[in-house]
Amino acid sequence: MFETTLAGSLPKPSWLATPNVLWAPWTLTGRPLQEAKEDATALAIRRQEQAGIDIVSDGEQARQHFVHGFLAEVEGVDFDKKVRMGIRNNRYEADCPTVTAPLRRRRFVHEKEARVARASTARKLKFTLPGPMTLIDTLADGHYGDRVKMAFAFAELLNQEAKDLEKLGVDVIQFDEPAFNVYLAETVEWGVPALEKAAEGLKCATAVHICYGYGIEANIKWKGTLGESWRQYEQTFPALDRSRIQQVSLECRQSHVPPELMKLLKTKTVLVGAIDVASEKVETPEEVAATLKLATEFVDPERIQACTNCGMAPMTLGAAYAKLRALTQGAALARKTL
């Protein structure tokens, strides 16, 4: 009950990348950069273990961004042909690379860091990949002429990557789909089917993370427009509950998501976001336990994992690991009091 885990990313040490920013530039280049990425991965695992996390991750230490880390090794994506476009339904603008030819994975993209992570821990290991809908929302299309077709082409590549990760001994593969909170009808229509395609044939646990984004300014502004009650999950959870994806990671702490929406996940393991990533203020174990207890009103405790709301990449290292410790202590407290 209440196994602890995290949504995925963790801050990088300053000897690897510029601290406290998204898309942080690397501090090193060439061979020293590769070595630093591997050291940071092993260290992130060690620090998660020290914080008491049950299902640890590589902390996404070897990628600059959760989408572009994967894209960097995909043939057919032209990074020199950037198009300024509105993404997440025009929530913010980004310079997006263009798909100019059929998509093909050049190699096992995350092999090095996945090997290091696997060798660094005996605990369960989670590895995150971007979901197909979020991937295509971050790209211009100069080849397929059909965004759904492009999403399914990516789903095929993600499936290859996921199967390679599974072979390395990864226990949980999580697809990050923040776009599922933006394009609600499309999520039901083709987003969930594309996600299932990406997870097809996997024997390890499969998860999807759906959030309202990092605590950056554009997201805080967007959240301000969503009103008092955020009911996006209400439209997408029934489709996810019918899918073969086993775990759903969602926001709870300091969010306006009505907790009763968790009831819609009747058969899934629910990763309850009990840690706010938009604030450096560390939760108390009591606050974490209260969030978990609230979730038990709607979900059988045996199906609940204690998690963070989202990735922690833009936070300070100190706050991020203090929050993970609070998560572990809060889960222990909730277990004791239930």
> How far is residue 256's CA from residue 309's CA, in Å, rounded to a whole number?
12
Helices 317-337 & 30-51 angle (0-180, nearest 10): 30
Residue number with CB closer to Zn ion (192 or 211)? 211
CB of 178 to Zn ion, least distance (A): 5
Q: How far is the CB of 262 from Zn ion (least distance, A)?
A: 17
- Which residue do the tokens 């209260």 mark? 290
Please give the single-letter amino acid code of residue 137: D
Among the candidate windows 33-41, 163-171, 204-212, 240-248, which touches Zn ion by CB under 5 A? 204-212
- Name which of 53 and 310 has its Cβ closer to Zn ion: 310
Residue with tokens 């990533």: 277
Select 264 or 310, whichever has its Cβ closest to Zn ion.
310
Cβ 115 to Zn ion shortest distance, Å: 25
C-alpha–C-alpha distance, residues 215 and 220, integer Å: 6
Q: Which of residues 296-335 bind Zn ion (CB under 5 A)?
A: 310
Q: Which stretch binds Zn ion (CB under 5 A): 105-113, 163-171, 208-216, 267-275?
A: 208-216
CB closer to Zn ion, 271 vs 289: 271
User: For residues 310 and 331, which CB has a smaller minimum distance to Zn ion in the complex?
Assistant: 310
Minimum distance, C-beta of residue 319 to Zn ion, in the bound complex (Å)? 17
Tell me, by CB under 5 A, how many residues bind Zn ion: 2
State in angstroms the smallest separation of the CB of 123 from Zn ion.
Answer: 22
Q: Is 87 in the site for Zn ion (CB under 5 A)?
A: no
Strand order, beta sheet including 124-130:
3-4, 304-308, 269-275, 247-251, 205-209, 172-176, 124-130, 55-57
What's the farthest any 2 CA atoms get from each other in the chain? 57
Shortest CB 7 distance to Zn ion, Å:
5
Contacts of 71 (CB under 8 A, 6+ apart): 77, 79, 97, 135, 139
User: Cα–Cα distance between 267 and 281 in angstroms, integer?
Assistant: 33
Question: With binding defined as CB under 5 A, does residue 211 bind Zn ion?
Answer: yes
In whole angstroms, how close is the CB of 251 to Zn ion at the nearest point?
8
**Segment contacting Zn ion (CB under 5 A): 160-168, 200-208, 210-218, 296-304?**
210-218
d(CA 290, CA 315): 23
Residue with Cβ nearer Zn ion (76 or 311): 311
- Rounded-to-integer distance, Cα 219 and Cα 21, Å: 14
Distance CA 244, CA 202 (A): 10
Q: Which is nearer to Zn ion, 128 or 243 (CB)?
A: 128
Residues that bind Zn ion (CB under 5 A): 211, 310
